[in-house]
Chain A
Amino acid sequence: MVNFIDVIDRATTGPMMTQKDFDVKVVIPTLRRTLKKYEIKYDRKEFVNTDDALADRIFEAAVDFYSEVGTYILDTERIIKFTKGEILEAVEDAPKQAYFGEGPDRCVMKGRMPDDNELPHCHVGSGTNTSEENALRLVESYARISKAKTISIPIINTLGHIRTAAGAPTEILAAIRAMQYGREGCRRAGRPGLGIIDHVSSASTGVSTIASSAPQFGARPSDGWLIAPFAELKTDYSSLNQTAYLTAWGANIGQEAGPLLGGYAGGPEGLAVMNTAYSLHGILVMRATYHLIYPIHMTYVCSSQPDVIWATSASTQAIAGNLRVPYYTLMYAAAGAATKMYFDEALACLIMLIASGSGIEDVHPGKAKITDGCTPVDMEFTCQVGHAFRGVTRKEANKLLEKICPKYVDKLADAPLGEKVNQCYDLDCFKPKSHFQKLYDEVIREIKGEYGIDLYKY
């Protein structure tokens, strides 16, 4: 694979152009041409793609597209480009397993195949806004979920009464504090070695990420650091600085991206190719050892909308079948926590991911916009579904989604806000409050009644 030093050298020697030209004259027309050339079409006849040949064409299209487009560097206004040969070599050389955690909590995340009977990697937690008083308890509650192999820890954006700000010293201090809460929460749950793989969600700048990752604050190279691009296929020196530091340390790097359906990628077909191209960018530029995608519908600001579900299923299969890299997906529900609609959306998303060959993360309620808006029940549900629906085929998944999706699709534009964690969950006793428990029992009963699977057995 092209050496990282050579990659960063290309950031200063590659072709130069404005960001606008890259978006409008490179990304958009190249993607359009590629979709035509590889006949990538979505006929809206199924929720989960079942066409293996189409999945393979999406992969080939992504290789072709990425070889023409490359990755834009905001600081130098240049493009890092790779030949098709370099991309295919990187696909071959990319890490196929990522090891997280220490001691008895050490685990391996591997690529899965579509229709695979292998258990999906169950990742829980949320790197979303959380009030500081809840952060430690929440991490403890995530880590107590025994089926969870790895966790994400919350974003803290206050220091007492002061709100933190990107690039300011407050951001560094909050990122350090979040790191400490993360490790301490795992210790309190009796799982000190558990891998935390969303470092450092409280930091948005390279300097805060690197500062808070110093080992004295609790970070270990067996954790994972997520590095996000700018939409679409752009990065900057701040992100590359993180890669430079983390590769020098031998730490796990996660390529993360949340391409927009309706944005520069266009519709579902473009989103499928863009999702896949991000993995190539991740391997070559960000030096990823694992991959996370969280595609979002531009209008509904969630991922449970059927076009996003299909695009994600198709790109997951393209990646699973051709890249076989450690890979998991985060989906957003429109409905807030502790609502029936949330569980319908989450179930549809999780079944699609399991059948398509992805690892799973708890679907985030309320478009991930609500402070304290995720609950440990969502995470328990994810693990239960992951184990119960292990081995579900894409064909079976389609039949299930035909029943599940109509329950919520018409309500996406006006989804219920739901509740915050303190309203529906007792963080002292680590139990849902009675009204939430009642709702959850009803959800479990409905799943058992309609699909014959008792999640409480898992």
Chain B
Amino acid sequence: MNEQETFIKMSDAVLEGDSEALTVIIKKVIGEVDPLILVQKGMMPGLKKIGELFESGEVFLPEMLMAAEAFQEGMKIIEPKLQESGKKVESPGTVVFGTVFSDIHEIGKNIVITLMRTYGFKVIDLGANVSPITFVDESEKANADIIAISSLMTTTMTYQKDVIDYLKERGLRDKYIVLVGGGPVNEEWAEQIGADGTSDSAAGAVRIAEKLITDKKGGVA
């Protein structure tokens, strides 16, 4: 199997969510191929493809989760080699993501996180019932670009505003892009509380994240 065939098989394994097949291939070639190239040419195309299929409605969350899971399994083998080589996988940005205080709904957040990861974002998932202080402290620790705040219920939306208010109190509001989302959240609410953006769909959230990060970095994609 030549290098090109290896990459195609790796990409297909990610696309199929076949962790076992992927790790078998990686173990065979890990000593011979640049680990960064394995990620970029072997695994990323499969991840990108599953993201595209998800956006076009041809596959759904289960398929995307399995692809992401396979990717993570592959990375467990590649990561040590990457560290040895001193190389890093380029990422559009780091996102700290959570569901607001008093809300334990996670599915919307999990869908967006999974799609963001397929687009190469580094996402730190804080889980649910996250306090404003935790959102901000974790974003500081991660040197995040984006704080993404999810809320499913009308009665918990107000805690999205609390995170933004707390950022202002700490003098950190301009440091972060703040995205809000969830069942009852719309543009009117996002604007009212001073968020930078919102979207109804996971694909829309990724587009906004990419655009705002590009804008923040001076318009260079």
Binding site for B on A (CB under 8 A): 19, 23-24, 28, 31-32, 74, 129, 155, 157, 163-167, 171, 202-205, 230-232, 236, 260-267, 270, 298-301, 367-371
Contact = CB atoms under 8 A, between A and B. Distances in A.
Given A157-B155, A203-B155, A263 B107 contact: yes
A231 B107 contact: yes
Contacts of A129: 154, 184
A236 B61 contact: no
A155 B154 contact: yes
Interface stretch (B85-93, B168-176, B199-207): B199-207
Interface residues of B, number: 34
B63 to A, nearest CB: 8
A122 to B, nearest CB: 25
Contacts of A262: 57, 60-61, 111
Best-surrounded residue of B102, B107, B185 (most CB of chain A within 10 A): B107
A301 B62 contact: no
A157 B69 contact: no
Interface in B56-97: 57, 60-63, 65-66, 69
The 10 tightest CB contacts between A and B, nearest first, are A231-B107, A166-B155, A166-B102, A204-B155, A167-B102, A28-B62, A266-B60, A262-B60, A369-B186, A166-B156
28 contacts: A19-B106, A23-B65, A129-B154, A157-B154, A163-B161, A165-B155, A165-B159, A166-B155, A166-B156, A167-B102, A204-B103, A204-B156, A230-B106, A231-B106, A231-B107, A262-B57, A262-B61, A263-B60, A263-B61, A265-B60, A266-B60, A266-B61, A266-B63, A299-B55, A301-B200, A369-B185, A370-B186, A371-B188
B105 interface: yes
Contacts of A299: 55, 57, 201-203
B200 A367 contact: yes
A335 to B, nearest CB: 13
Main secondary structure of the interface of A (DSSP, over half): loop
A263 to B, nearest CB: 5
Contacts of B153: 166, 204
A242 to B, nearest CB: 15
Contacts of A19: 106
B158 interface: yes
Given A165-B102, A369-B185, A298 B155 contact: no
B62 A32 contact: yes
A115 B177 CA distance: 52
A171 B154 CA distance: 11
B135 to A, nearest CB: 16
A71 to B, nearest CB: 15
Interface in B97-137: 102-107, 110-111
Interface string B142-175: 0000000000011111110100000000000000
B186 A236 contact: no
